[in-house]
Structure 1
Amino acid sequence: MLLRGFYERKTLFACILATGAIFIDISIVNVVLPDIRNDLHTSLAQEQWIVNAYLITMTAFVLPAGVMGDVWGHKRMLQVGLVAFIVATLLVGLAPSADFLIGARALQGVAAALLTPASIAILRTSVAPERQARAIGIWVTGTSLSASIAPAFGGVVGGLFGWRWAFLVVIPALMVAVWFARGIIDSPQAKRRIDLVGGAIIATAIALLTAGLIEWPTRGLLDPLVLGLLAAGSFVVLVFVWHERRFPEPMIPPRAVRDRLMNRVHVFTILAWSTPLTMGLLISIRLQSALGYGPIMTGFLLLPMSLMVMLTSSRLTAFAAGNHMHLMLRLGPLLTAVSVIPALFLADGRVWVVIPAEILLGLGMACMAGPVTHAVLQLAPAGDEGMQSAINLAAARFGTLMSIALLGIAAALGWSLAGGPVNPGNALEGASQFADGAYLAGLVLSALLALAAIPFATAARRARAVTD
C-alpha cells in the first residue's frame, strides 16, 4: 500500500533525511580519519574521541530527548534537532583544531539524540494506522541506504574536496528536511512535567556506561579506567532510581517499568542487534588481516547485507504488520544465527562464503528492523511513543557495545583454547591457527546471542493484536 497524500510523503521524507544524516556521520568519520590526522595533526587518543564523542552523547541524551518529545511535541524536537545538527555540522566542517572538532562531534551527537526518537514517534502520530507499517519499512530502507553508501560517498567527496566537505555536504539535505518538517501536524502532547534533573542524571549514567563499554575491548575489563567508568555509571544509575522514586512525575514512569511486554521487546533488541555487528566485524577483520583484502574490496564483499535490507525491509515490515509480527521476529534472529554456518568456512580461506553469509544477515536484519520499530510504536501507550522509542534505541546501542566487549572476551578464549600464547593483543588479527580459534569463538558467540533473542519475540503477539 502506497502512502497517500503529499503531507504523509513530506513527513516520511523529513524523517528519512534526518536519520539518514545521522547514519552518514556515524559511518563517514572512519573513512576521512586519515585526512583529519594529516590536517589537524591529531594524536591517537584524539582520533578515538573524534569517533566516540558522537556515539557517547547520542546514546546518553536519547532517553531525555524522547521524553521531551512526548511532552513538548515530536515535531518541535525534530525541528530543534535538525537546526542543531546543521549548526554542529558547520562547526565540524570549520574546526580549526582537534579539540574543537571533538566538541563539535559531541554536539552532533546531542542533535542526533533529539532527532532519532522524534523521527520514529512521528511515524505513528502523523501517518494513518493502516499505512504505518509501510512507512516504517520505507524509513528503514532509506536509513539503510544512507549507512551503506556513506563510506564510499565520504571517500569520494573527501578525496576530491577534502574531509571537511564530506561532512558539510549533508547540510542541503538537512535544510530540505527542515522545510518538509514545517508541514508535520504536531503530535498530542503529554500532560506532565519534565524531570530535567532526572534527565541529567540518566544522561550522565548512560554516558559513563557507554564510555566504559567503548574502552572495554581495547583496554580489557580489569583496566582501572574501564572499571572506574562502569562502576561510576552503575552508581549514577542507582542515584537515578533513588531520584525517580521521589519525584512526583518521574522521567520513566512506573507504568513503563512494569510493562513486561515492552521490556521483553527491549531485551529482544539488545540481543538481536548484537549479531549483525559482531558478524560484520569478524568477517571484515578476517578478510583484511588474514586474507589480505583491502578496505575497498572488503566493503564490496560486505555490500550484500545492506542491499538485502534495502530491497526487502519495506515488504517484510508490511508483511509482519499483517498478522505475522511474531513470525518475523523469530525468523530474523534465526537467519542471523544461520549466517554463521557459511562464515565458518571463511577460516579456510573460502572467500565466496561471505556472500551467502551476508545475504542471510541482511534478510535477518530486514525481518527485525522495521517490525521491531513497528512493535514498539504499537505497544507504546499514547503519549509514551518518544520515551519507548528512545529506550529501544538505547537498547540497540547497548546491545552493539556489549557485543563488541563480549567479542573481545570470546576471541581471547578461542585463542587460548587453540593453544596460543598469553596476552595475544588483538586475538583476531593475523593468519594463524590461534587467530582461527579466536574467529571461530567469535562466530559461536554471535550465534548464541541471536538464538537467545528468539524467546523474547513472544512480546510481538500483543503488537499483532493491536495492528489487527
Structure 2
Amino acid sequence: MPPFTALQRRVVVAAILASFVTFLDGTVVTVALPAISRELGGGIVTQQWVVDAYLITLSALILLAGSVSDAYGRVTVMRIGLIAFGAASVAVAAAPDPLILIIARAAQGAAGALLVPSSLAMITATMRGELQSRAIGVWTAFTTGAQLVGPLMGGLFVDLISWRFVFLINVLPITANLILLGRLRLPDRHRSVRVDWASGIICAIGLGALVFALIEQERLGWGAPAIWMPGAAGIALLVVFLLRQRGSDAALMPLALFRVRNFGWGNLATLFVYAALSLNGFVIGVYLQQGPGLSATAAGLASLPITVLMIMLSSRAGAWAGRFGPRPFMTFGPLLMALGALLLLTVDAEFDYWWQVLPAMLVLGLGLSLTVAPLTAAILGAIDEERSGIASAVNNAVSRVAGLLVVALLSTIVGGALDLDGFHSAAFATAALFAIGGAVSWIGIRRNPSEHPAEEPAEA
C-alpha cells in the first residue's frame, strides 16, 4: 500500500484534532459528574442532563452541519466550529449553577456538530480504497482514544485542581488545529446545496422533548402531563422530521442512503454498539467513585487499557478491513465486547480492580479495536465522495443519538440508583446491546463495491 502524501498526512492530522475535542469533551465529563453534583447539586438528574444537553444538540445539529459543510466548505465550517467550541468551553468552566452549566453544554454540542462531519469528509474527499480505510483507522485510533483517555485526564483535573478545568483541556488542540488549517492549502469547495434549516430545528426540539421525558419520568412518573406531553410532542416532531426527509430535495438525512446495504446495516449496528459504549463509559466513570469510593483519577485510569489497545490496533484493523472486508471484524469485535461487559459481573462489595475490572477492560479494548475502524470504513466507503459530508453526519448522528437515549434511560436501566445491583444491571444491558450489534453486522454487512470494482453496488 502506498504511503500517505504530505497533504494527506496533514489532512488526517487536521481531521483528528477537530474531532478530538468533541469526542474528548463527550467523555471527559464522566468522572467529573460526582464533583459537579456535589458543588452544584441535583444528584443523578443533573448528571444525566450534563451529559445529554451536549448530546442533544450534537446529535440533532450534526445532520444540519453535514449539509452546511457540503454547502459552505469543509475547512470554513471547521474553523467556525473550533472557535465556537472554545468559547462554549470557557462558558461551561465558569458556570455558577446547574442551569447555566447545562445551557453552556448544549452550546458546546452545537459547536461540536460542525466539526465531526467536516473532518471525516476531508478524509473521504482526499483518499479512497485501502488508503482511505487506513486513514480512517488512524483517525479512529486517536479520536476513540480521546473518548477513552478523557476520563483519566478529567480525573486528574478533578482531584488536583477543579472539575471546572476539565472543560478547558481542549484549548490547546483547538489552537493547534486553527494554525494547521491556515497552512493546509486544501481546496475548500462550495456546492449549490440548499440547507434545510427548518428540519434541523424540528429534529433538535423533538430530541430535546423526548429526552426530557425519559430523564424526568423517574422523578414525576409517566402519568404526569409534564412528562407524557413533551414525550408525545417529541415523538411527533421526529415523525414530522422523517416525513420531511422523505420528500425533500435538500434532506439533512437522505433516506435513500439507507438503501445502500452497508450504509443502512452499518448504521443499525452503530446504534447498538455506541449505545453500549455510552452506557458502559457512564457507569464505569460514576460507579467506581460512588461505589468502591475510588478517586476521580483512579476511576479514569480504570479504562486506560482500552485506550492503549485502541492506539495499538485500530489502524491495523482498518487496514485489515480494507483487505479482507469489514464483516468479520464488525461481527467478532462486538461479540468480544459483550463478553467483556459480562466480565464486569464479577465486581462485588469486596472490590478488586485487578481481578474484577482489568480483565473486562482488556477484552473490551480488544473488541473495540477490531470494531470501530472497520465499522466507519464500511459505512463511509459505501457512499460516493459527493455525499461524504452528509453520510458522515448521519453516521455520527446515529452514534450520538444512541448515547443520548441510553443515558436518558439510565435510571430505568439501573433501577433508580447506581449501586452494585444497578451496576450489574447496566453490565447485562451493555452486553446485550453489543451482542445485537454483532448479530446485525453478520446479517447485513458485505464488502463495499469499491473493494470489488467488477460488482454492482449492493443495495438492501
Q: TM-score, normalised by structure 1?
A: 0.83
- Provide the C-alpha distance between the structure 2 equivalents of 1:196 and 1:53, rounded to a whole number of angstroms: 20
Aligned equivalent of 2:394, options 376, 391, 395: 391
C-alpha change, 1:158 and 1:456, in structure 2 (3 Å) is: closer
- Provide the C-alpha distance between the structure 1 equivalents of 2:338 and 2:394, rounded to a whole number of angstroms: 25
Once the two structures are superposed, residues 110-139 of structure 1 have per-residue CA deviations (whole angstroms, 9 ceiling, x without a partner) of 110110111112111123544222221221
User: Which residue in the other structure is 1:173 paired with?
Assistant: 173
User: Which residue in the other structure is 2:360 paired with?
Assistant: 357
Matched, 1:445 2:435: no
Deviation at 1:380, TM superposition (A): 1.6
What is the letter of the counterpart of residue 104 of structure 1? A
- Provide the C-alpha distance between the structure 1 equivalents of 2:302 and 2:154, rounded to a whole number of angstroms: 18
User: Which residue in the other structure is 1:369 paired with?
Assistant: 372
Matched, 1:429 2:453: no
Query: Contact 1:302 / 1:354 at 8 angstroms: preserved in 2?
Result: no
Deviation at 1:292, TM superposition (A): 4.9
Query: Contact 1:275 / 1:336 at 8 angstroms: preserved in 2?
Result: no
Secondary structure of 2:437's aligned partner: helix
- Provide the C-alpha distance between the structure 1 equivalents of 2:392 and 2:452, rounded to a whole number of angstroms: 18
- Provide the C-alpha distance between the structure 2 equivalents of 1:282 and 1:169, rounded to a whole number of angstroms: 22
**Superposition map of 1:170-209 within 5 A:** 170-182=170-182, 183=184, 185-186=186-187, 189-209=190-210
User: Which residue in the other structure is 1:151 paired with?
Assistant: 151
What is the letter of the counterpart of residue 304 of structure 1? P
- Provide the C-alpha distance between the structure 1 equivalents of 2:109 and 2:142, rounded to a whole number of angstroms: 20
Deviation at 1:255, TM superposition (A): 2.3
- Provide the C-alpha distance between the structure 2 equivalents of 1:209 and 1:87, rounded to a whole number of angstroms: 28
Query: Contact 1:58 / 1:109 at 8 angstroms: preserved in 2?
Result: yes
- Provide the C-alpha distance between the structure 2 equivalents of 1:32 and 1:282, rounded to a whole number of angstroms: 13
- Provide the C-alpha distance between the structure 1 equivalents of 2:413 and 2:104, rounded to a whole number of angstroms: 35
- Provide the C-alpha distance between the structure 1 equivalents of 2:140 and 2:448, rounded to a whole number of angstroms: 19
What is the letter of the counterpart of residue 22 of structure 1? T
Using CA pairs below 8 Å that are at least 6 residues apart, which structure has the higher relative contact order?
2
What is the letter of the counterpart of residue 207 of structure 2? I
What is the letter of the counterpart of residue 15 of structure 1? A
Query: Contact 2:214 / 2:409 at 8 angstroms: preserved in 1?
Result: no
Query: Contact 2:136 / 2:315 at 8 angstroms: preserved in 1?
Result: yes
Query: Contact 2:344 / 2:424 at 8 angstroms: preserved in 1?
Result: no
Once the two structures are superposed, residues 56-95 of structure 1 have per-residue CA deviations (whole angstroms, 9 ceiling, x without a partner) of 2112211111122223222222122112212323444455
Query: Contact 2:292 / 2:351 at 8 angstroms: preserved in 1?
Result: no
**Superposition map of 1:119-138 within 5 A:** 119-127=119-127, 129-138=129-138
Query: Contact 1:64 / 1:203 at 8 angstroms: preserved in 2?
Result: no
- Provide the C-alpha distance between the structure 2 equivalents of 1:235 and 1:139, rounded to a whole number of angstroms: 37
Query: Contact 1:121 / 1:377 at 8 angstroms: preserved in 2?
Result: no
Deviation at 1:295, TM superposition (A): 4.0
Query: Contact 1:378 / 1:467 at 8 angstroms: preserved in 2?
Result: no
Deviation at 1:51, TM superposition (A): 4.3
- Provide the C-alpha distance between the structure 1 equivalents of 2:298 and 2:86, rounded to a whole number of angstroms: 33
User: Which residue in the other structure is 2:317 paired with?
Assistant: 316
- Provide the C-alpha distance between the structure 1 equivalents of 2:312 and 2:15, rounded to a whole number of angstroms: 19
Matched, 1:346 2:347: yes
User: Which residue in the other structure is 1:13 paired with?
Assistant: 13
Query: Contact 2:155 / 2:300 at 8 angstroms: preserved in 1?
Result: no
C-alpha change, 1:326 and 1:221, in structure 2 (3 Å) is: farther
Query: Contact 1:332 / 1:364 at 8 angstroms: preserved in 2?
Result: yes
Query: Contact 2:263 / 2:382 at 8 angstroms: preserved in 1?
Result: yes
Secondary structure of 1:379's aligned partner: coil
Aligned equivalent of 2:439, options 455, 461, 465: 455
User: Which residue in the other structure is 2:383 paired with?
Assistant: 380
Query: Contact 1:217 / 1:404 at 8 angstroms: preserved in 2?
Result: no
What is the letter of the counterpart of residue 371 of structure 2? M
Query: Contact 2:31 / 2:299 at 8 angstroms: preserved in 1?
Result: no
Deviation at 1:242, TM superposition (A): 4.2
Q: TM-score, normalised by structure 2?
A: 0.84
- Provide the C-alpha distance between the structure 1 equivalents of 2:351 and 2:163, rounded to a whole number of angstroms: 36
**Superposition map of 1:225-304 within 5 A:** 225-244=226-245, 247-256=248-257, 258-281=259-282, 287-288=288-289, 291-304=292-305
User: Which residue in the other structure is 2:457 paired with?
Assistant: none
C-alpha change, 1:3 and 1:228, in structure 2 (3 Å) is: farther
Query: Contact 1:157 / 1:165 at 8 angstroms: preserved in 2?
Result: yes
What is the letter of the counterpart of residue 177 of structure 1? N
- Provide the C-alpha distance between the structure 1 equivalents of 2:254 and 2:34, rounded to a whole number of angstroms: 45
Query: Contact 1:3 / 1:134 at 8 angstroms: preserved in 2?
Result: no
What is the letter of the counterpart of residue 193 of structure 2? R
Secondary structure of 2:142's aligned partner: helix
C-alpha change, 1:229 and 1:313, in structure 2 (3 Å) is: farther
Query: Contact 1:77 / 1:115 at 8 angstroms: preserved in 2?
Result: yes
Deviation at 1:296, TM superposition (A): 3.7
Secondary structure of 1:322's aligned partner: helix
Choose 263-272 or 381-390, whichever is displaced more: 381-390
Deviation at 1:157, TM superposition (A): 4.4
C-alpha change, 1:30 and 1:372, in structure 2 (3 Å) is: closer
User: Which residue in the other structure is 1:57 paired with?
Assistant: 57
Deviation at 1:276, TM superposition (A): 3.2
Query: Contact 1:73 / 1:187 at 8 angstroms: preserved in 2?
Result: yes
- Provide the C-alpha distance between the structure 2 equivalents of 1:446 and 1:92, rounded to a whole number of angstroms: 30
- Provide the C-alpha distance between the structure 1 equivalents of 2:154 and 2:361, rounded to a whole number of angstroms: 23
Unmatched runs of 5 consecutive residues or more in structure 1? 413-424
Fraction of identical pairs, as percent:
30
